[in-house]
Each structure stands twice: as structure tokens, then as C-alpha cells.
Structure 1
Amino acid sequence: MPTSHKPPLLADPGFAHVSEDDWESAAEGALRGALLSSLHSALLGGIETAPLYSPHRYSTEGDPAGVPGAAPYTRGAAATSGYGGWEVRQIHDVTLPGTPDAIATDTTSGVDAVTVARGWDAEGDRAALAAGIGDAAGAGVTIHLQSGTSPAHAAALLDVLEQHGVDADRMKSWLGLDPIAAVASGWFGADAGNSTVVVAEMCDAARSAAEFTQRSPQAVPFEADGSVFADAGASDATEVAAMLATGVAWLRAICDNPDGPGLDPGAGARLLGFTLSAGPDPFLVTAKCRALRMCWTRVLGTCGVDGTGGEGLPMHLHAVTSTAMLSALDPWVNMLRATTATFGAANGGVDAITVRPFDAVTAGAASSGLGWRVAANTQLILRHESRIGSVIDPAGGSWYLEDLTRKVAHAAWDRFREIEAAGGISAAVASGELDALIADERAQRDERIAAGDQVLVGVTDFVDSAEASAHAGASAATLDLGLGVHRWAAPYESGSAGP
């Protein structure tokens, strides 16, 4: 019986082979004299992207990113997918009336963890803290303090957890100790000009936290929060560099400083969590997550932690949607920004995500019930209905994302080395060197927005005149949110610039 030879699926002899050179020739003809390089785009921080990606120039063959679940963890912490996906966190201000009811609603509607917003007094607001999170903590919900929290705040949290009968062995908490973030943002009156004081505070925190984690091994006491730098205007590469430098500062305090607990680097790394800012570009967020893991693995390798036994690897990685990207004009668009940011972070393989309410600028800490509900549902829909967290390394094989990951990693590593050459992040903050770099990048972003190279939907383009009239001047009271935040849309909302 004769054997039939069918052509492969999708093979169509009517289509001639087109090479990349053919594409370039056609593109040059269509540009009418303009250079092909004009199709390249420059991202903030000096990263350039191309108009076309192919294996000819962006091959992933021999790529050092490894495989999922193995060092350098670029492709994710796990080699298998899980139904649960990431941890859904919701942020609350325990000093506001109605917070206990709001937290109860969240934790019975799919939210996995509660973030306690900064601004509460460790002594005066302890009763409010207990009323707000006590029942949730007793039910096993993870409690997260925002970065920069002092040891007094961490101690208050631990007292509440113990009072509600939370077993120390099962206690899940993220204490958020980050004096670097506190200094950079001016929280709690920290002295930004004295790096010696900051180092001493880190050593004190390291000793007390190391003792606590002996009783509560699931706690993550230390944090390297890059979102404070991103919200101040830093590029993605600079944000990653600041996180790396903060992580190294913690390792020095935990492992090397004679005033610290003297742990080995592998044990020290397990006590450290990272928080990064998720902006509206999902591809850049995904690349940033991957680049951070790649660079941190290299840092730990230099410290003698190779990850083959799991010491300190992979990292605890949390993403929070950007405050800087939020707008007061047409705040409904913030829902879309939060969705793409969450999508990018989930594809980047983070362990936890916090979504800020879409009306956080216009309503402040007392965001509407709708704002909180949409913030939680944004994650729950993407996690349970879209099942994004069930995909292993979704960026793998995308020449664009693979190349973008490498470029973010290289740019971040160069900036990290500059910070270390300046004496470390405490010294870079104290001298104003890091502030100057961020101010320059912030100015570059403002220029890009003014030139139309970066569009803010509802603010600089596609502006709803009714929304613009309703919120005219609204940002004047919210331009400085007290955390060193420079929102991209603020100049257009305050009337100092026009769309």
C-alpha cells in the first residue's frame, strides 16, 4: 500500500522564505530616507529595544538564564507549576475606622495576606493594630509590615500575634525592617546624612530579628524595598541596583559586622525579602523580576552561596503596583495600569503581589470600598480565572523578553557596582549621589512625557474633558504623598504643564 507524504502543518508553498535582510530592505524603503535605527526605542536608563526580534540576532542558544527552579532562578523559583500561584496581599491603614471590617471582608474573599500600612505608632496604636489584624493573624493569614518599619513596630506586631495564640512555629510574617528605605524616604525622622547610624540600626535589627527567627522560622524579617526608589523617579535598572545594594548591606550587617549576629551568608539570605515596583509596562516588569533574580544569584555566588543545596535561594520576591503611575485625572484608567502591572509581576514569577486601589490618589488612605474590592479582584481574577500563575516561565523563548532581561540585568549590575564603589548604599544615600541619579532619571522621564514619547492615557492623551474639569487642581494636595513620591501625572493635574 503506497504511503502518502503529507506536507507539515502550516507549510504553504505559496509563501516564499523571507529573511531578516529582506525585512530590513522593505523597512528602509517604507521609511522614505529615514535610517532603520530610527525604529529602535530607548527606555529610561539607557536600555534600547529593537523593532524586530529573531533568532538570527537574538538567539537564546547558550543562554546563561538556566532552567526553571534552578540557579540563577531567572526563569522562576519552581520547576513545576502550582494552582495557588502567588500570594495576594491587600494593604490597610489600621488607624482608620472600619479597618477591622474591611480586613475581615478581604480575608474571607480570597486575600491571603494583610499589609499594615506605615504611619501607625508602635505604642499608641497597638490596640488599633490588634483590632485590625488580630483575627486575621489568628486564622493563619500572613501579616506584612511595609518596609522601613522600626524594630519597635515589629515588636508590637509580634506581641499581637502572640496574644492571639499564633504558634511561633507556624507564624507567617514579613517584618519589613529596612532602615535604608526609611532614610531614603525620610520616614520616622531618620537622618539621611549619617550612614554610620544606619549601619548601626541594621546591626541592631539583625541581632534581634535573628533571635526571633529561631522561634519563628517562617518569618521574613529584613527587606530590600526598591519601590521607594522607583516611586521617587528611578529607572527600573536603578531600582534593581538599589535593591541589590540594600541586600548586600543586609548581608554585611548579618554576616560580617562584629555587632551583627554573625550568621553565614546562606542563612542570612533566607531572612531577606525584596519588594519591587510594578509599573504599567508588563514586559518591563517581567524582565525586571527575572533580572533581579539573576543578579542576586550572582551576588550570593560571590558570597559562597551557590544555591545547589537551596541555601538562601531562591529569593523572597514581592511586587507592589507603582504609586508613581497613578493619576488623579480619569482615575478609572488606574484599573488598567494595575492590571498590566499585576500581569507582568505574575509572569515574572513573584511570590506575592500588592495592588494599590485605583482611587488611592484622590481618596488617599481611606480609599473607597470599590477601590479595595477592585484591587483584590484584579489579582484574584488573574490568578484563578486566567491561571497566569500556573504557567512555568511564560517569558521563556521570547527573543524580546530574553534580550530585555539581559539588558536590564547588565544595566542594573553596572549601577550596583557604582553604588558599591561609592561606599555602599548607605553612603550613596548620605552623600546625595543616589538622589542625584534618581533626579536626573526623573527629569528624563518628564521630558519623554512632555515630548509624547511616553503617553499617560487620560492625562496627556485621550483626555476626558469632563474628568479633567472635575479633578482640576486635585493633585495640588496630593503631589507629595509624604513618601518622596513623584507621580508622573502630577504636573499635568496641577496645571503647571499642559497635555
Structure 2
Amino acid sequence: MAPTPTSRHDTALSDPGFADVSESDWEAAAEGALRGEPLSSLRTTLLDGIETAPLYTSHRHGTEADPSGLPGSAPFARGAAAASGALGWAVRQIHDVRLAGTPDAVAVDTTSGVDAVTVARGWDADGDAAALAAGIGDAAGAGVTIHLQSGASPAHAAALLNVFDRHGLDLAGLRSWIGLDPIAAAASGWHSADSDDGATLVSSMCSAARSAAEIAQRSPGAVPLEADGSVFADAGASDAAELAAMLATGVAWLRAACDNADGPRLDPDAAARLLGFTLSAGPDAFLVTAKCRALRMCWTRVLGTCGVDGTGDEGSPMRLHAVTATAMLSARDPWVNMLRATTASFGAANGGVDAITVRPFDAVSSGASSSGLGWRVAANTQLILRHESRIGSVIDPAGGSWYIEHLTRTLAHAAWDRFREIEAAGGICAVMASGELKASIATERALRDERIAAGEHVLVGVTDFVDTHAEQASWANLSADQPPGGLGVHRWAAPYEVESNGVAPAGAASS
């Protein structure tokens, strides 16, 4: 058989005609384009002190010795599974069951592509039981996944299970997220959690762990416990600090479920499979992706010390949910929030999360009663990424990017150092009770505020590129959902949003 002649296109691909360019050549060209500014001016220092470079190369940031493994293999930086599902992740939508319009809104969502309904904090397990049944009953009866937002108590879990029982559901087949998390309850200021008493927090966790074990007996597919980092991120914590708090909460759960005499005394693998993680997704898509990957790396290391390797038939004992950050939302020119939510969702999807919740773009101005357009855009943001962009069909799309790989490793190290500091101080319950965690978050929040004020961190539509005719929320709505106590929600844009008389209202920075 005669050899196949080399085509002109093959020749062009093997010899594209580009001259070899060294790093020094690139640096010289870049400095020329900077018009006298040094190349170092392109470096950025993140809130955690992590410095990002203007150029990443195989020579400086190669991954040949990278221990990150393959998708589905420890330490699971590249994903918890070796194969991607057809749709990638579950689309969640958050609703307040206390609102009269919730049943209709949930019905619209669950017939328009939404996979799961999250019940927002604020409802009373006894007084609002009827509202819960009315709000999510039809969705639950249809088999839609129900997620109680983190901070739920055993009484809230019992109210949800009662709804399931009323609809005659087979709990063995349900995949609900119950959201038991006394740490998040204390940090958010929801219900009666007391963050000033470490012993009370530990006792609450043991009680919740016992409830979780009982729930798991009835519903093996449920995720009863939660470690929610978004409550710390929305209070002002840096990304590494948020990850550290999540790791410390996860360890506290293992102690409560495995070691404490008041807990259910489970083995570590069984306890780990009761736990779900929620992290905050901000407007930097690359950082969100790295954060998801770094969390899996660190948690795998924690479980490894407990004898859990995650290599069995069930795979990695970790479920990861991302929620778009409340702190990044602006009341001024709220339409920009759509773009922030899109980049946050993109980063989370690339990070291989199991579920994503997008807050409505008008959540700040409208609160829990967001407009129909806000809910629709929140859901469609994910649906476009999932169905039209097909992001979820790609396994570890960020793998091999020298920037992402380096950022993942650096962030994991920073988070691990912060986690060790929390553990050295007695654990997450102790540092919350002592006020150390609140103080460190306040320091990071102040640093971010300084960078925004100095123009180092731009808030589009708020600090720069401001439309003076842009819509701005009524101040009456901005802090209506702020519960007393806890760490609070500190939006980055709040100090720059003013009333019609040009004066920022009291407490704006904590709206």
C-alpha cells in the first residue's frame, strides 16, 4: 500500500512558522507595553496574602510532580468521580416558606428545570410547620430533593421528615440535605444557637449527630449534617479562612459523631458520609474553581488521618454544594449581580461541585420576596451553563492550567495553615466562643474594605463605571432579614450605596 502523502495542512500544523519565544522575550515585550511600569505591577496579592503572577509556565509552574492524581482518585482535587454525569450538577433554588407566594414559585421552579428546593433560614420548626408543608409539600411529593439551609436543628429535620411521611414517601430512596449545623446557626444568628458557650455548641453537635444517625437509618441517601463556609465568607472571611472554618467544622462533626460519649459513636467513614459541605462562590471564577479543588484536597487529608481513604465502591465521602455569595451583591445597579452570579456559577461548575444555588440578582433589594424575574434569571443562569454551554459534561475542565493548579495548591496550603491554627486553639467551637474567629474575620474584612477604598479591588457599577441613573434599592429592605447576633452579612458595596440625600444609612457596612 502506497504511503499517504503529507497534506499541506499537516505540514502547517507541525511547523506553524512561529518563532521560538523565551520567557525573557515575553517579559521584555510586556514591559514595553506597560509604558514604563514594571512587570511586577501585573502581580496581584489576594486577601490571604497569596500572590498571583502575570505569566504561568511549565518551567516555573509545571505539574509533573503534582500529587493531585486523576479525577475520581485521592486527593480528589480533579473531581470526586472519574466520569461526569450527563448534567453535571444539581440546580437548587432557595425559597422562604413563610411567604404566601412560595408554593407557586416552587411549582414554577420544579417544572422549569430546577432539581432541588432549598428552604431558607428563619422558619420556626413548630409555628411554621404548616407553612413548610404548604411551601414544599407538592415538590417533596414529586420526589424533588429538599435541602434545609444550614443551621437547621433536629426539630427542623423532624418537621421535614413529617412532610415526607404525610406524602407517603419511601425515605430509603430520597436524597435530601437536612442542613444540621449548630456552627452555622451560631454564625448566622439563626434560632437559639449560642456561640458564646463552646460546651453548648459541642452538646448541640452531639445531639445533631445522633439525629443524623437516626435519619441515615431511615433514609440512607440523605445528607443530614452540613459544614457551611458561606456564613463566614459573607461575614468577611477570606477564601483560606472560609476553607479553614469548613475543615474545622468537619473535624468537629467527626469528633461529635465518632469520639464523644454523647454522640452516636460511628466509625469515621460512616460519619463522613453523613456530611455535606457548602462554600461561597464569589465573582472570581478562577478562585472559586481553585477553592473547590483545594477543599477536596484538604478534606481528603483529614479523612486519611482517620483511616478513610475514599477508594471503595462508594468513592469520595464528600458532597460539595456552592452558593453565590451574598457579600458580593450590590443594591446599586443590581443588574450587574447577574454577571457576578454567572462567573461564580461558572467557577463552581468547573470546580466539580455536586450542586449550585444562585441567589436572585435582586436579593438585596427585595429580600426573601425576590421578583419573579430574579428567580427566573437565577435558575436560567445555571441552566444555560449546564444545557447550552455543557460545562458539566467535561471532566476537570481546569486540569492542566498552570495558573489553576498553582492557585489550588497555594490556597490549600494557606487553608491548611489556618485550619491548624483553629485546631491549636481548641477547635471551631472554642474559637467561636472566645471571639477569636470573629476578630480575625473582622481584620480580613477591614483589609478588603481598605483595598476597595484604595481602588485595588473594583466593584463595577458601585465604585467604578457608575451609572448615576442606575436603579438602587430602598434602604428599608436592605437589612430586614438580618437576625440579631451572629457574625452578620457584610456586603462589599454597602459603604458606597447612599440614600437619595447622599448619606449612607447607619449600619450600611453590615447590610
Q: 1:310-325, aligned counterparts within 5 Å? A: 310=313, 313-325=316-328
Aligned partner of 1:84 in structure 2 is 87
Q: In the TM superposition, what are the counterparts of 1:5-404 in structure 2 within 5 Å?
A: 8-12=11-15, 14-31=17-34, 34-310=37-313, 313-404=316-407
Match of 2:419 in 1: 416
With over 3 angstroms needed to count, the CA separation of the structure-2 counterparts of 1:97 and 1:57, relative to structure 1, is same
* Cα distance between partner residues in 2 of 1:154 and 1:164: 16
- In structure 1, what is the Cα distance between the partners aligned to 2:32 and 2:315? 53
**Residues of 2 paired with 1:232 and 1:308: CA distance?**
36
CA contact 2:79–2:395 (8 Å) conserved in 1: yes
Give the Cα separation in 2 of the matches to 1:124 and 1:205: 21
Q: Distance in 1 between matches of 2:39 and 2:114?
A: 49
Match of 1:492 among 489, 496, 501: 496
Separation of aligned partners in 2, 1:471 and 1:250: 42
Give the stretch that moved more between structures: 208-217 or 341-350. Answer: 208-217
Q: Does 1:471 align with 2:481?
A: no
Aligned-pair CA distance for 1:481: 4.2
Question: How far is the alpha carbon of 1:429 from its aligned partner?
Answer: 0.8
Name the SS of the counterpart of 1:261 in structure 2. coil
Shift of 1:202: 0.5
The residue aligned with 1:482 is 482
How much has 1:437 moved relative to structure 2?
Answer: 1.1
TM superposition shift of 1:323: 0.4
Structure 1 CA distance, aligned partners of 2:48 and 2:304? Answer: 26
Is the 1:273–1:315 contact (alpha carbons within 8 Å) kept by the matching residues of 2? Answer: yes
Q: CA deviation at 1:306?
A: 1.3
Secondary structure at 1:273's aligned position in 2?
strand
Cα 1:447/1:107, change in 2 over 3 Å: same
Q: Secondary structure at the match of 1:320?
A: strand
Range that drifts further, 106-115 or 74-83: 74-83
Contact 1:479 1:486 in 2 (8 A): no
Q: 1:399 to 1:24 in 2, by over 3 A?
A: same
Pair 1:152–1:11, CA change in 2 (3 A)? same
- Percent identity of equivalent pairs: 77
Query: Root-mean-square deviation (CA), in Å?
Result: 1.9
Q: Which amino acid aligns with 2:304?
A: G
SS at match of 1:57: helix
After superposing the two structures, state which structure 1 stretch, 480-489 or 91-100, moved more. Answer: 480-489
TM value normalised by structure 2: 0.93
**CA-to-partner distance for each residue in 1:4-29, whole Å, 9 max, x for gaps?**
66664435574321111222233345
Where 2:88 maps in the other structure, the secondary structure is coil
Distance change (3 Å), C-alpha of 1:491 and 1:308: same
Verify the 8 A CA contact 1:326 1:489 in the aligned structure 2.
yes
CA distance in 1, matches of 2:164, 2:4: 73
Contact 1:305 1:312 in 2 (8 A): no
How far, CA to CA, are the matches of 1:145 and 1:2 in structure 2? 65
Residue correspondences, number: 495
Normalised by the length of structure 1, the TM-score is 0.95
Residue 453 to residue 480, structure 1, CA distance change in 2 (3 Å): farther
Conserved 8 A contact 1:305-1:311:
no
Question: Structure 1 136/344 Cα, relative in aligned 2: closer, same or farther at 3 Å?
Answer: same
Alpha-carbon separation, structure 1, partners of 2:339 and 2:12? 38
Whole-Å Cα distance in 2 between the matches of residues 68 and 90 of structure 1?
Answer: 28
